[in-house]
Amino acid sequence: MLEKILPGQVDNAFEGHRLSLVFFYFITLLTICRSCVHIFAGDGGAQSIATIPLDAFTQGGAEGVIFLFAQWGIAQLMIGVMYLIVALRYRRLIPLMYIFIFFEWGSRIILAFFKSIETVSVAPAALVQPILVLVVPVMFYLSIRQIKATNNNGG
């Protein structure tokens, strides 16, 4: 299994289940779009999407939150570009990317139990992300499963 996660040769071959490839494209698009909102939206998506009541903060506090959201957006954009490169040129690394996605998203969910920020209502990511974190291991399995099935069936 280690060879499927950390292949000796990195190329554009993808032998996993097609659904896991399509889902990876979806995650790539989601990551890039979400990052652009954090970078380019006036409030970084903090109030308009995440429902953080910026209007209840001091001006400096609100600007600080918006700045941190924009910085987070840049980090997400870099991750999204990495996913895009893998999707277009190095598909053999998709199983490894699913491990990264699981740990990044799972860590955010765990972090929310220890550090939080006031919100007016539940942000969409707080509802959708736990579901996606449960789907990612399935997609990881599908990304390596077909390779094993192909080898067992003689090609």
pLDDT tens for 74-116 read 999 999 999 999 999 999 999 999 999 999 999 999 998 899 8
Determine how many CB atoms are found less than 10 A away from the CB of residue 88: 11
What is the residue range of 68's domain? 16-146
Assess if residue 155 is contained within a domain: no
**71: in domain:** yes
pLDDT for position 3: 86
- Residue 152: the pLDDT is 44
- DSSP string computed for 5-63: HS-SS--S---S-HHHHHHHHHHHHHHHHHHHHHHHSTTTTTTTTT---GGGS-HHHHH
The 10s digit of each residue's pLDDT in 26-38 is 999 999 999 999 9
29 occurs within a structural domain: yes
Provide the number of structural domains found in the chain: 1
Please report, for residues 43, 66, 68, 77, the alpha-carbon distance to residue 132 in angstroms, rounded to integers and kept in the order given: 25, 26, 24, 19
**Is residue 50 one of the residues assigned to a domain?**
yes
141: which DSSP letter? H
Whether 5 is in a domain gets the answer no
* Contact assessment for residue 95 and residue 21, using Cβ atoms and an 8 Å cutoff: no
Element (DSSP H or E) covering residue 124:
helix 124-152
CB 46 within 8 A of CB 69: yes
Q: What is the pLDDT of residue 74?
A: 98
Q: Which two structure tokens, joined as six digits, stand for 43?
A: 């409030």
Distance between first and last Cα of the chain: 18
- Domain membership of residue 152 (yes or no) is no
Across the chain, what does the average pLDDT equal? Answer: 91
Residue 115, in any domain of the structure:
yes
In a domain, 41, yes or no: yes
CB burial of residue 75 (10 Å; 0-12, 13-18, 19+): exposed
